[in-house]
Amino acid sequence: MNTIQVQLGERSYPIHVKSGLLKDVPDLLTETNHGQKWIIITQHGLMELFGFELMSNLKEKNFNTDYITLPVGEAAKSMKEFSNVISQLTELGCDRSTTVLALGGGVVGDIAGFAASTFMRGIGYLQIPTTLLAMVDSSIGGKTGINIAEGKNMVGAFYQPKGVLIDPDILKSLPKGEVIAGLGEVIKYGAIRDADFLKEISGWLDDIVSFPFEKAIKRASEIKAEIVSKDERESGLRRLLNFGHTIGHALEAHLGYGRIRHGEAVALGMKCAGWISERLDLLSKEDVNQLNTTINKLPLPEIEHVDGVHLMPFIKTDKKSEKGILNFVVLEGLGKAAISTNVSEKLIQQSLKVLN
Ligand X SMILES: NC(=O)c1ccc[n+]([C@@H]2O[C@H](COP(=O)([O-])OP(=O)(O)OC[C@H]3O[C@@H](n4cnc5c(N)ncnc54)[C@H](O)[C@@H]3O)[C@@H](O)[C@H]2O)c1
Q: Using CB under 6 A as the criterion, which residues of the chain lie in contact with ligand X when the complex forms?
A: 43, 45-46, 49, 72, 74, 77, 104-108, 110, 130-131, 133-134, 137-138, 141, 143, 153, 170, 173-174, 178
The least CB distance from residue 349 to ligand X, in Å, is: 26
Distances in Å between the Cα of 336 and the Cα atoms of 108, 144, 283, 294 are 32, 27, 10, 16
- Is 332 part of the annotated catalytic residue set? no
User: Taking CA 197 as the corner, what is the angle to CA 196 and CA 203, rounded to the nearest 5 degrees?
Assistant: 95
Catalytic residue among 219, 242, 261, 264: 242
The least CB distance from residue 64 to ligand X, in Å, is: 26
Nearer to ligand X, 250 or 352 (CB): 250
Separation of alpha carbons 72 and 34, rounded Å:
32
- Is 44 part of the annotated catalytic residue set? no
Short-list 41, 49, 69, 25, CA closest to 173 = 49
Angle between helices 195-204 and 213-230 (to 10 degrees): 150
Q: Is 170 helix (H, G, I), strand (E, B) or coil?
A: helix
Catalytic residue among 16, 77, 143, 193: 143
Separation of alpha carbons 116 and 325, rounded Å:
34
Consecutive H or E run containing 125 = strand 124-129
The least CB distance from residue 118 to ligand X, in Å, is: 15
Catalytic residue among 18, 178, 185, 219: 185
Catalytic residue among 16, 18, 218, 224: 224
Residue in the shown chain whose Cβ atom is closest to ligand X: 106
Catalytic residue among 37, 193, 245, 261: 245
- Is 233 part of the annotated catalytic residue set? no
- Is 11 part of the annotated catalytic residue set? no
Separation of alpha carbons 186 and 285, rounded Å:
22
- Is 185 part of the annotated catalytic residue set? yes
Nearer to ligand X, 269 or 308 (CB): 269
- Is 239 part of the annotated catalytic residue set? no
- Is 249 part of the annotated catalytic residue set? yes
Gyration radius of the chain's alpha carbons: 20
- Is 310 part of the annotated catalytic residue set? no
Which sequence positions are flagged as catalytic? Answer: 121, 143, 185, 224, 234, 238, 242, 245, 249, 262
